[in-house]
Structure 1
Amino acid sequence: MSNMRTVGTAARLASKRPFRVSIEGNIGSGKSTCIKFFEKFRNVEAHPEPLKEWRNVAGHNLLGLVYSEVNTWTFPFQHYVHLSRLKIQTSPPSHADITVKMFERSVQNSRHCFVENAKKQHYLQDPEYEVLMSWYDYTEKNLDIALDLIVYLRTTPQVVWERVMKRGRAEESEVPLAYLQEVHDSYENWLSAPDVGCEVLTIDADKNLDAVVEDLERYSYKILGGNHTN
Protein backbone atom coordinates (compact mmCIF):
# COMPACT_ATOMS: atom_id res chain seq x y z
CA MET A 1 0.00 0.00 0.00
CA SER A 2 2.90 2.38 0.72
CA ASN A 3 4.09 2.21 -2.89
CA MET A 4 0.62 3.01 -4.24
CA ARG A 5 0.33 5.90 -1.79
CA THR A 6 3.70 7.24 -2.92
CA VAL A 7 2.63 7.07 -6.56
CA GLY A 8 -0.61 8.91 -5.76
CA THR A 9 1.24 11.62 -3.83
CA ALA A 10 3.78 12.04 -6.64
CA ALA A 11 1.00 12.43 -9.19
CA ARG A 12 -0.75 15.01 -7.02
CA LEU A 13 2.42 17.05 -6.53
CA ALA A 14 3.41 16.84 -10.20
CA SER A 15 0.01 18.09 -11.37
CA LYS A 16 -0.49 20.40 -8.36
CA ARG A 17 -3.94 18.94 -8.02
CA PRO A 18 -5.92 19.28 -4.78
CA PHE A 19 -5.72 16.77 -1.93
CA ARG A 20 -8.45 14.23 -2.69
CA VAL A 21 -10.67 12.93 0.10
CA SER A 22 -13.40 10.34 -0.45
CA ILE A 23 -16.14 10.10 2.17
CA GLU A 24 -17.17 6.45 2.26
CA GLY A 25 -19.85 4.49 4.11
CA ASN A 26 -23.07 2.56 3.83
CA ILE A 27 -26.41 4.08 2.89
CA GLY A 28 -27.48 6.23 5.84
CA SER A 29 -24.03 6.37 7.47
CA GLY A 30 -23.84 10.18 7.48
CA LYS A 31 -21.82 10.91 4.35
CA SER A 32 -23.96 13.92 3.41
CA THR A 33 -23.55 15.33 6.93
CA CYS A 34 -19.79 14.97 6.60
CA ILE A 35 -19.77 16.74 3.24
CA LYS A 36 -21.87 19.60 4.63
CA PHE A 37 -19.57 19.94 7.64
CA PHE A 38 -16.56 20.64 5.42
CA GLU A 39 -18.35 22.97 2.99
CA LYS A 40 -17.63 25.86 5.40
CA PHE A 41 -13.90 25.73 4.60
CA ARG A 42 -13.05 28.10 1.74
CA ASN A 43 -10.24 25.87 0.47
CA VAL A 44 -12.53 22.83 0.18
CA GLU A 45 -14.54 21.93 -2.90
CA ALA A 46 -17.16 19.46 -1.66
CA HIS A 47 -19.23 17.24 -3.93
CA PRO A 48 -22.26 15.37 -2.58
CA GLU A 49 -23.37 12.25 -4.39
CA PRO A 50 -24.99 13.37 -7.68
CA LEU A 51 -28.46 11.97 -6.90
CA LYS A 52 -30.27 14.52 -9.07
CA GLU A 53 -28.17 13.49 -12.06
CA TRP A 54 -28.90 9.79 -11.47
CA ARG A 55 -32.61 10.56 -11.17
CA ASN A 56 -32.73 12.29 -14.54
CA VAL A 57 -30.67 10.67 -17.28
CA ALA A 58 -32.50 12.08 -20.30
CA GLY A 59 -35.70 11.73 -18.30
CA HIS A 60 -34.94 8.29 -16.85
CA ASN A 61 -34.60 7.78 -13.09
CA LEU A 62 -31.74 5.28 -13.02
CA LEU A 63 -31.58 5.38 -9.23
CA GLY A 64 -35.24 4.46 -8.92
CA LEU A 65 -34.93 1.78 -11.58
CA VAL A 66 -31.99 0.01 -9.93
CA TYR A 67 -33.79 -0.08 -6.58
CA SER A 68 -36.98 -1.42 -8.18
CA GLU A 69 -35.37 -4.06 -10.45
CA VAL A 70 -31.78 -4.62 -9.38
CA ASN A 71 -30.98 -7.47 -11.80
CA THR A 72 -32.15 -5.54 -14.84
CA TRP A 73 -30.71 -2.13 -14.09
CA THR A 74 -27.47 -2.68 -12.17
CA PHE A 75 -25.29 -2.72 -15.30
CA PRO A 76 -26.45 0.59 -16.84
CA PHE A 77 -26.61 2.19 -13.42
CA GLN A 78 -23.05 1.24 -12.46
CA HIS A 79 -21.85 2.32 -15.90
CA TYR A 80 -23.36 5.76 -15.35
CA VAL A 81 -22.18 5.97 -11.74
CA HIS A 82 -18.62 5.34 -12.92
CA LEU A 83 -18.92 8.16 -15.44
CA SER A 84 -20.41 10.66 -12.99
CA ARG A 85 -17.85 9.86 -10.29
CA LEU A 86 -15.03 10.08 -12.81
CA LYS A 87 -16.12 13.58 -13.86
CA ILE A 88 -16.22 14.73 -10.23
CA GLN A 89 -12.92 13.11 -9.27
CA THR A 90 -10.82 14.33 -12.20
CA SER A 91 -12.32 17.73 -13.03
CA PRO A 92 -10.13 20.75 -12.22
CA PRO A 93 -10.99 22.73 -9.08
CA SER A 94 -13.50 25.54 -9.43
CA HIS A 95 -10.96 28.20 -8.43
CA ALA A 96 -7.30 28.60 -7.55
CA ASP A 97 -7.80 28.68 -3.77
CA ILE A 98 -9.05 25.08 -3.64
CA THR A 99 -6.50 22.80 -1.97
CA VAL A 100 -8.87 19.98 -0.97
CA LYS A 101 -11.34 18.18 -3.17
CA MET A 102 -13.86 16.11 -1.22
CA PHE A 103 -16.53 13.85 -2.64
CA GLU A 104 -19.18 11.44 -1.45
CA ARG A 105 -17.91 8.02 -2.56
CA SER A 106 -15.37 7.46 -5.35
CA VAL A 107 -14.55 5.68 -8.58
CA GLN A 108 -12.68 3.16 -6.43
CA ASN A 109 -15.81 2.59 -4.36
CA SER A 110 -17.82 1.75 -7.46
CA ARG A 111 -15.19 -0.76 -8.56
CA HIS A 112 -14.23 -2.44 -5.28
CA CYS A 113 -17.47 -2.22 -3.34
CA PHE A 114 -20.68 -1.97 -5.35
CA VAL A 115 -19.59 -3.73 -8.54
CA GLU A 116 -17.97 -6.58 -6.60
CA ASN A 117 -21.08 -6.97 -4.48
CA ALA A 118 -23.27 -6.94 -7.59
CA LYS A 119 -21.23 -9.76 -9.10
CA LYS A 120 -21.30 -11.74 -5.86
CA GLN A 121 -25.08 -11.39 -5.59
CA HIS A 122 -25.59 -12.16 -9.31
CA TYR A 123 -27.02 -8.73 -10.06
CA LEU A 124 -24.46 -8.64 -12.89
CA GLN A 125 -23.88 -11.30 -15.52
CA ASP A 126 -20.25 -12.25 -16.19
CA PRO A 127 -20.01 -10.32 -19.49
CA GLU A 128 -21.45 -7.20 -17.81
CA TYR A 129 -18.96 -7.51 -14.97
CA GLU A 130 -16.05 -7.87 -17.39
CA VAL A 131 -17.15 -4.75 -19.31
CA LEU A 132 -17.19 -2.72 -16.08
CA MET A 133 -13.78 -4.12 -15.10
CA SER A 134 -12.32 -3.15 -18.46
CA TRP A 135 -13.77 0.35 -18.11
CA TYR A 136 -12.24 0.75 -14.65
CA ASP A 137 -8.85 -0.74 -15.63
CA TYR A 138 -8.58 1.64 -18.57
CA THR A 139 -9.47 4.57 -16.32
CA GLU A 140 -6.93 3.61 -13.67
CA LYS A 141 -4.11 3.18 -16.19
CA ASN A 142 -4.75 6.34 -18.21
CA LEU A 143 -6.09 8.92 -15.75
CA ASP A 144 -5.01 10.15 -12.34
CA ILE A 145 -7.85 8.97 -10.11
CA ALA A 146 -5.68 8.40 -7.03
CA LEU A 147 -7.13 9.17 -3.61
CA ASP A 148 -5.11 10.74 -0.82
CA LEU A 149 -7.43 9.82 2.07
CA ILE A 150 -10.56 7.77 2.63
CA VAL A 151 -12.81 8.72 5.54
CA TYR A 152 -14.81 5.60 6.34
CA LEU A 153 -17.98 6.23 8.32
CA ARG A 154 -18.30 2.73 9.74
CA THR A 155 -21.74 1.58 10.82
CA THR A 156 -23.68 -1.58 11.55
CA PRO A 157 -26.40 -2.53 9.05
CA GLN A 158 -29.26 -2.49 11.57
CA VAL A 159 -28.46 1.09 12.62
CA VAL A 160 -28.38 2.44 9.08
CA TRP A 161 -31.51 0.50 8.09
CA GLU A 162 -33.42 2.27 10.86
CA ARG A 163 -32.06 5.63 9.68
CA VAL A 164 -32.97 4.94 6.05
CA MET A 165 -36.52 4.05 7.03
CA LYS A 166 -36.84 7.29 9.02
CA ARG A 167 -35.50 9.66 6.39
CA GLY A 168 -37.93 8.39 3.77
CA ARG A 169 -36.21 8.86 0.42
CA ALA A 170 -38.59 7.48 -2.19
CA GLU A 171 -36.06 5.19 -3.89
CA GLU A 172 -34.90 3.75 -0.54
CA SER A 173 -38.34 3.00 0.92
CA GLU A 174 -38.05 -0.72 0.22
CA VAL A 175 -34.33 -1.26 0.76
CA PRO A 176 -34.06 -4.51 2.75
CA LEU A 177 -31.75 -4.97 5.70
CA ALA A 178 -30.08 -7.82 3.81
CA TYR A 179 -28.90 -5.40 1.10
CA LEU A 180 -27.37 -3.06 3.68
CA GLN A 181 -25.57 -6.07 5.15
CA GLU A 182 -24.19 -6.87 1.68
CA VAL A 183 -22.93 -3.30 1.24
CA HIS A 184 -21.40 -3.36 4.73
CA ASP A 185 -19.56 -6.61 4.00
CA SER A 186 -18.27 -5.21 0.71
CA TYR A 187 -16.93 -2.12 2.46
CA GLU A 188 -15.22 -4.22 5.11
CA ASN A 189 -13.60 -6.44 2.48
CA TRP A 190 -12.43 -3.48 0.41
CA LEU A 191 -11.09 -1.24 3.15
CA SER A 192 -9.40 -3.99 5.15
CA ALA A 193 -7.36 -5.10 2.13
CA PRO A 194 -3.63 -4.27 2.11
CA ASP A 195 -3.78 -2.55 -1.30
CA VAL A 196 -6.46 0.11 -0.76
CA GLY A 197 -4.05 2.68 -2.17
CA CYS A 198 -4.24 5.41 0.47
CA GLU A 199 -4.70 5.97 4.18
CA VAL A 200 -8.11 5.05 5.63
CA LEU A 201 -9.47 7.05 8.57
CA THR A 202 -12.28 5.08 10.23
CA ILE A 203 -14.92 6.90 12.28
CA ASP A 204 -17.58 5.16 14.35
CA ALA A 205 -20.77 6.46 12.72
CA ASP A 206 -23.14 4.35 14.81
CA LYS A 207 -22.89 7.19 17.33
CA ASN A 208 -25.36 10.06 17.25
CA LEU A 209 -24.87 12.91 14.81
CA ASP A 210 -23.36 15.31 17.36
CA ALA A 211 -20.71 12.77 18.35
CA VAL A 212 -19.81 12.12 14.70
CA VAL A 213 -19.47 15.86 14.07
CA GLU A 214 -17.15 16.07 17.10
CA ASP A 215 -14.95 13.39 15.52
CA LEU A 216 -14.92 15.28 12.23
CA GLU A 217 -13.80 18.38 14.11
CA ARG A 218 -11.13 16.40 15.94
CA TYR A 219 -9.70 14.93 12.75
CA SER A 220 -10.25 17.94 10.49
CA TYR A 221 -6.52 18.72 10.27
CA LYS A 222 -5.82 15.26 8.83
CA ILE A 223 -8.94 15.23 6.65
CA LEU A 224 -7.99 18.58 5.14
CA GLY A 225 -4.55 17.31 4.17
CA GLY A 226 -2.67 18.89 7.06
CA ASN A 227 -0.04 16.17 7.07
CA HIS A 228 0.67 16.62 3.38
CA THR A 229 2.31 19.26 1.23
CA ASN A 230 -0.06 20.89 -1.28
Structure 2
Amino acid sequence: MTAAAARFFLNFWSALRPVVRTVKSGGTRGIRTGTPGKLMRSGDSRRTVICVEGNIASGKTTCLDYFSNTSNIQVLTEPVSKWRNVRGHNLLALMYQDPQRWGISLQTYIQLTMLDKHLSATTAPVTMMERSIFSAKHIFVENLYRSGKMPEVDYIILNEWFDWITTNVSLPVDLIVYLQTSPQTCYERLKQRCREEEMVIPLEYLEFIHQLHEDWLIKGTSAPVPAPVLVIPADYDLQKMLHKYEEHREKILTATNS
Protein backbone atom coordinates (compact mmCIF):
# COMPACT_ATOMS: atom_id res chain seq x y z
CA MET A 1 0.00 0.00 0.00
CA THR A 2 1.26 3.50 -0.81
CA ALA A 3 2.24 5.92 1.95
CA ALA A 4 -0.67 8.19 0.99
CA ALA A 5 -3.11 5.29 1.28
CA ALA A 6 -1.70 4.33 4.67
CA ARG A 7 -2.18 7.87 5.99
CA PHE A 8 -5.76 8.08 4.77
CA PHE A 9 -6.77 4.71 6.19
CA LEU A 10 -5.25 5.73 9.53
CA ASN A 11 -7.42 8.85 9.46
CA PHE A 12 -10.41 6.76 8.37
CA TRP A 13 -10.04 4.39 11.31
CA SER A 14 -9.47 7.31 13.69
CA ALA A 15 -12.86 8.68 12.63
CA LEU A 16 -14.65 5.35 13.07
CA ARG A 17 -12.96 4.20 16.27
CA PRO A 18 -14.91 6.49 18.66
CA VAL A 19 -18.20 5.18 17.23
CA VAL A 20 -17.18 1.54 17.68
CA ARG A 21 -15.77 2.18 21.16
CA THR A 22 -18.93 4.01 22.24
CA VAL A 23 -21.23 1.15 21.25
CA LYS A 24 -18.99 -1.49 22.79
CA SER A 25 -18.89 0.40 26.08
CA GLY A 26 -22.65 0.94 26.11
CA GLY A 27 -22.44 4.71 25.69
CA THR A 28 -24.93 6.82 23.72
CA ARG A 29 -23.35 9.84 22.05
CA GLY A 30 -25.94 9.75 19.28
CA ILE A 31 -25.17 6.23 18.05
CA ARG A 32 -27.29 3.17 18.71
CA THR A 33 -27.73 -0.32 17.36
CA GLY A 34 -30.79 -0.94 15.17
CA THR A 35 -30.40 -3.87 12.81
CA PRO A 36 -28.86 -6.59 15.02
CA GLY A 37 -25.09 -6.22 15.06
CA LYS A 38 -25.07 -2.94 13.12
CA LEU A 39 -24.43 0.64 14.17
CA MET A 40 -26.82 3.41 13.20
CA ARG A 41 -27.42 7.07 14.00
CA SER A 42 -29.90 7.69 16.83
CA GLY A 43 -33.30 8.89 15.64
CA ASP A 44 -33.01 7.51 12.12
CA SER A 45 -35.24 4.47 12.43
CA ARG A 46 -38.21 6.16 10.70
CA ARG A 47 -36.30 8.31 8.22
CA THR A 48 -36.81 7.85 4.47
CA VAL A 49 -33.53 8.01 2.53
CA ILE A 50 -33.49 8.84 -1.18
CA CYS A 51 -30.23 8.85 -3.15
CA VAL A 52 -29.99 10.80 -6.39
CA GLU A 53 -27.51 9.10 -8.71
CA GLY A 54 -26.16 9.89 -12.15
CA ASN A 55 -23.18 10.83 -14.25
CA ILE A 56 -21.16 14.01 -13.81
CA ALA A 57 -23.36 16.95 -14.95
CA SER A 58 -26.48 14.77 -15.18
CA GLY A 59 -28.51 17.37 -13.26
CA LYS A 60 -28.31 16.12 -9.67
CA THR A 61 -27.93 19.62 -8.22
CA THR A 62 -31.00 20.86 -10.10
CA CYS A 63 -33.00 17.90 -8.80
CA LEU A 64 -31.88 18.50 -5.21
CA ASP A 65 -32.59 22.24 -5.46
CA TYR A 66 -36.10 21.51 -6.71
CA PHE A 67 -36.98 19.20 -3.82
CA SER A 68 -35.21 21.34 -1.22
CA ASN A 69 -38.23 23.66 -1.37
CA THR A 70 -40.49 20.82 -0.23
CA SER A 71 -41.39 20.76 3.45
CA ASN A 72 -40.14 17.83 5.54
CA ILE A 73 -37.20 17.11 3.21
CA GLN A 74 -33.59 17.62 4.16
CA VAL A 75 -31.17 17.74 1.22
CA LEU A 76 -27.58 16.56 1.65
CA THR A 77 -25.26 17.55 -1.19
CA GLU A 78 -21.97 15.86 -2.02
CA PRO A 79 -19.24 17.24 0.25
CA VAL A 80 -17.24 18.52 -2.74
CA SER A 81 -15.89 21.48 -0.75
CA LYS A 82 -14.15 19.02 1.57
CA TRP A 83 -12.61 17.16 -1.36
CA ARG A 84 -11.35 20.47 -2.73
CA ASN A 85 -9.78 21.55 0.54
CA VAL A 86 -8.20 18.82 2.67
CA ARG A 87 -6.24 21.13 4.94
CA GLY A 88 -5.21 23.21 1.96
CA HIS A 89 -4.92 20.40 -0.61
CA ASN A 90 -7.35 20.16 -3.54
CA LEU A 91 -7.63 16.39 -3.60
CA LEU A 92 -10.25 16.42 -6.37
CA ALA A 93 -7.97 18.37 -8.71
CA LEU A 94 -5.00 16.19 -7.85
CA MET A 95 -6.95 13.05 -8.72
CA TYR A 96 -8.05 14.37 -12.12
CA GLN A 97 -4.46 15.44 -12.89
CA ASP A 98 -2.85 12.16 -11.81
CA PRO A 99 -5.45 9.46 -10.99
CA GLN A 100 -2.90 6.68 -10.57
CA ARG A 101 -1.15 8.63 -7.82
CA TRP A 102 -4.13 10.23 -6.09
CA GLY A 103 -7.08 7.91 -6.84
CA ILE A 104 -6.70 5.87 -3.63
CA SER A 105 -6.38 9.04 -1.55
CA LEU A 106 -9.48 10.68 -2.99
CA GLN A 107 -11.65 7.56 -2.91
CA THR A 108 -10.72 6.82 0.70
CA TYR A 109 -11.66 10.35 1.68
CA ILE A 110 -14.88 10.17 -0.36
CA GLN A 111 -15.78 6.92 1.40
CA LEU A 112 -15.28 8.61 4.77
CA THR A 113 -17.19 11.80 3.93
CA MET A 114 -20.08 9.91 2.30
CA LEU A 115 -20.33 7.64 5.35
CA ASP A 116 -20.59 10.80 7.44
CA LYS A 117 -23.46 11.99 5.19
CA HIS A 118 -25.30 8.68 5.58
CA LEU A 119 -24.99 8.94 9.37
CA SER A 120 -25.87 12.64 9.63
CA ALA A 121 -28.52 13.30 12.24
CA THR A 122 -31.69 14.90 10.86
CA THR A 123 -35.08 15.89 12.21
CA ALA A 124 -36.75 15.76 8.77
CA PRO A 125 -38.70 12.59 7.91
CA VAL A 126 -37.16 12.46 4.41
CA THR A 127 -33.49 12.82 3.51
CA MET A 128 -32.43 13.27 -0.11
CA MET A 129 -28.74 12.63 -0.74
CA GLU A 130 -26.58 13.51 -3.71
CA ARG A 131 -25.00 10.17 -4.61
CA SER A 132 -24.07 7.67 -1.89
CA ILE A 133 -21.33 5.52 -0.46
CA PHE A 134 -22.61 2.80 -2.81
CA SER A 135 -22.03 4.73 -6.04
CA ALA A 136 -18.68 5.92 -4.73
CA LYS A 137 -17.65 2.27 -4.67
CA HIS A 138 -19.57 0.71 -7.56
CA ILE A 139 -18.99 3.56 -10.03
CA PHE A 140 -15.90 5.61 -9.26
CA VAL A 141 -13.67 3.08 -7.53
CA GLU A 142 -14.58 0.56 -10.23
CA ASN A 143 -13.76 3.09 -12.93
CA LEU A 144 -10.28 3.72 -11.53
CA TYR A 145 -9.53 0.02 -11.22
CA ARG A 146 -10.96 -1.12 -14.57
CA SER A 147 -9.20 1.68 -16.44
CA GLY A 148 -5.86 0.59 -14.96
CA LYS A 149 -5.40 3.74 -12.87
CA MET A 150 -5.66 2.02 -9.47
CA PRO A 151 -3.27 -0.76 -8.40
CA GLU A 152 -4.98 -4.01 -7.48
CA VAL A 153 -3.78 -3.85 -3.87
CA ASP A 154 -5.38 -0.42 -3.38
CA TYR A 155 -8.61 -1.70 -4.97
CA ILE A 156 -8.64 -4.73 -2.65
CA ILE A 157 -8.14 -2.56 0.44
CA LEU A 158 -10.95 -0.18 -0.57
CA ASN A 159 -13.20 -3.21 -1.10
CA GLU A 160 -12.31 -4.53 2.37
CA TRP A 161 -13.23 -1.18 3.93
CA PHE A 162 -16.48 -0.98 1.97
CA ASP A 163 -17.45 -4.52 2.96
CA TRP A 164 -16.66 -3.82 6.62
CA ILE A 165 -18.71 -0.62 6.61
CA THR A 166 -21.77 -2.12 4.91
CA THR A 167 -21.61 -5.19 7.16
CA ASN A 168 -21.27 -3.31 10.45
CA VAL A 169 -23.06 0.02 9.85
CA SER A 170 -26.75 0.37 9.01
CA LEU A 171 -27.02 2.43 5.81
CA PRO A 172 -30.65 2.05 4.67
CA VAL A 173 -31.74 3.47 1.32
CA ASP A 174 -35.43 3.50 0.35
CA LEU A 175 -35.18 4.74 -3.24
CA ILE A 176 -32.56 5.52 -5.87
CA VAL A 177 -33.47 8.25 -8.35
CA TYR A 178 -31.31 7.65 -11.42
CA LEU A 179 -30.96 10.67 -13.71
CA GLN A 180 -30.26 8.81 -16.95
CA THR A 181 -28.33 11.19 -19.19
CA SER A 182 -26.31 10.60 -22.36
CA PRO A 183 -22.54 11.12 -22.03
CA GLN A 184 -22.65 13.73 -24.81
CA THR A 185 -25.23 15.81 -22.91
CA CYS A 186 -23.13 15.58 -19.76
CA TYR A 187 -20.05 16.64 -21.71
CA GLU A 188 -21.78 19.73 -23.10
CA ARG A 189 -23.11 20.71 -19.66
CA LEU A 190 -19.72 20.12 -18.09
CA LYS A 191 -18.08 22.53 -20.57
CA GLN A 192 -20.77 25.13 -19.92
CA ARG A 193 -20.40 25.16 -16.13
CA CYS A 194 -16.58 25.47 -16.36
CA ARG A 195 -15.52 23.97 -13.04
CA GLU A 196 -11.75 24.14 -12.95
CA GLU A 197 -11.16 20.52 -11.87
CA GLU A 198 -13.46 19.19 -14.61
CA MET A 199 -11.81 20.90 -17.57
CA VAL A 200 -9.52 17.90 -18.08
CA ILE A 201 -12.39 15.35 -18.24
CA PRO A 202 -12.72 13.83 -21.74
CA LEU A 203 -15.92 12.50 -23.28
CA GLU A 204 -14.52 8.96 -23.04
CA TYR A 205 -14.45 9.24 -19.24
CA LEU A 206 -18.13 10.20 -19.15
CA GLU A 207 -18.96 7.31 -21.47
CA PHE A 208 -17.29 4.86 -19.11
CA ILE A 209 -19.04 6.33 -16.06
CA HIS A 210 -22.36 6.14 -17.92
CA GLN A 211 -21.86 2.46 -18.72
CA LEU A 212 -21.02 1.69 -15.09
CA HIS A 213 -24.28 3.35 -14.01
CA GLU A 214 -26.21 1.35 -16.59
CA ASP A 215 -24.60 -1.94 -15.54
CA TRP A 216 -25.34 -1.25 -11.86
CA LEU A 217 -28.77 0.43 -11.86
CA ILE A 218 -30.43 -0.79 -15.09
CA LYS A 219 -28.96 -4.20 -15.89
CA GLY A 220 -28.09 -5.15 -12.29
CA THR A 221 -25.03 -7.03 -13.48
CA SER A 222 -22.16 -5.35 -11.63
CA ALA A 223 -23.20 -5.11 -7.95
CA PRO A 224 -26.25 -5.38 -5.69
CA VAL A 225 -28.60 -2.38 -5.81
CA PRO A 226 -29.55 -1.30 -2.26
CA ALA A 227 -33.05 0.00 -3.14
CA PRO A 228 -35.67 0.22 -5.89
CA VAL A 229 -34.59 2.44 -8.80
CA LEU A 230 -36.69 5.21 -10.33
CA VAL A 231 -35.26 6.14 -13.74
CA ILE A 232 -35.83 9.72 -14.91
CA PRO A 233 -34.56 10.54 -18.44
CA ALA A 234 -32.53 13.72 -17.95
CA ASP A 235 -31.29 14.91 -21.36
CA TYR A 236 -33.81 17.76 -21.42
CA ASP A 237 -33.51 21.48 -20.71
CA LEU A 238 -34.14 23.00 -17.28
CA GLN A 239 -37.86 23.69 -17.69
CA LYS A 240 -38.59 20.20 -19.03
CA MET A 241 -36.61 18.65 -16.16
CA LEU A 242 -38.52 20.67 -13.56
CA HIS A 243 -41.74 19.39 -15.13
CA LYS A 244 -40.44 15.81 -14.91
CA TYR A 245 -39.56 16.22 -11.23
CA GLU A 246 -43.08 17.46 -10.58
CA GLU A 247 -44.47 14.45 -12.48
CA HIS A 248 -42.52 12.09 -10.23
CA ARG A 249 -42.99 14.03 -6.98
CA GLU A 250 -45.54 11.70 -5.39
CA LYS A 251 -43.62 8.54 -6.26
CA ILE A 252 -40.41 10.01 -4.84
CA LEU A 253 -41.94 11.33 -1.63
CA THR A 254 -43.76 8.07 -0.91
CA ALA A 255 -40.64 5.94 -1.42
CA THR A 256 -41.21 3.91 1.75
CA ASN A 257 -44.61 2.83 0.45
CA SER A 258 -43.43 1.72 -2.99
Fold shared by both chains (TM-score > 0.5): yes
Equivalent in the alignment of 2:95? 66
1:201 to 212, 226, 230: 230
CA offsets, 1:104-155, max 9 Å, x none? 1000001111111111001110110011001100010111112110000001
1:186 aligns with 2:215: no
1:216 aligns with 2:245: yes
Equivalent in the alignment of 1:225? 254
1:133 aligns with 2:159: yes
Give the TM-score taking structure 1 as reference length.
Answer: 0.89
Equivalent in the alignment of 1:19? 48
CA offsets, 1:20-66, max 9 Å, x none? 11100101100000111111122111011111111111111011111
Question: Aligned equivalents of 1:201 and 1:178: distance in 2?
Answer: 26
Give unmatched runs, 5+ long, in structure 2: 1-34
Q: Map of 1:116-195 to 2, 5 A cutoff?
A: 116-191=142-217, 192-193=219-220, 195=224
SS of aligned partner of 2:257 = coil
Give yes or no for contact 1:100–1:225 (8 Å, CA) kept in 2. Answer: no
1:92 aligns with 2:121: yes
Question: Aligned equivalents of 1:136 and 1:170: distance in 2?
Answer: 30
Higher relative contact order (CA 8 A, sep 6+): 1
1:40 aligns with 2:69: yes
Structure 1 residues 185-194 or 52-61, which shifts more?
185-194
RMSD in angstroms over aligned alpha carbons? 1.9
SS of aligned partner of 1:147 = coil
CA offsets, 1:163-218, max 9 Å, x none? 10111001011210010011101111111207312110001111112111111111
Structure 1 residues 61-70 or 193-202, which shifts more?
193-202
SS of aligned partner of 2:129 = strand
Cα distance change, pair 142–168 in 1 and its aligned pair in 2 (3 A): same
Aligned-partner residue type, residue 136 of structure 1:
F
1:102 aligns with 2:128: yes
Runs of 4+ in 1 over 6 A off after TM superposition: none
Give yes or no for contact 1:24–1:31 (8 Å, CA) kept in 2. Answer: yes
Give yes or no for contact 1:26–1:184 (8 Å, CA) kept in 2. Answer: yes
Aligned-partner residue type, residue 164 of structure 1:
L
Equivalent in the alignment of 2:105? 76
Q: How far 1:228 sits from its partner (Å)?
A: 2.4
Give unmatched runs, 5+ long, in structure 1: 1-6
SS of aligned partner of 1:63 = helix
Percent identity, please.
Answer: 38
Give yes or no for contact 1:161–1:177 (8 Å, CA) kept in 2. Answer: yes
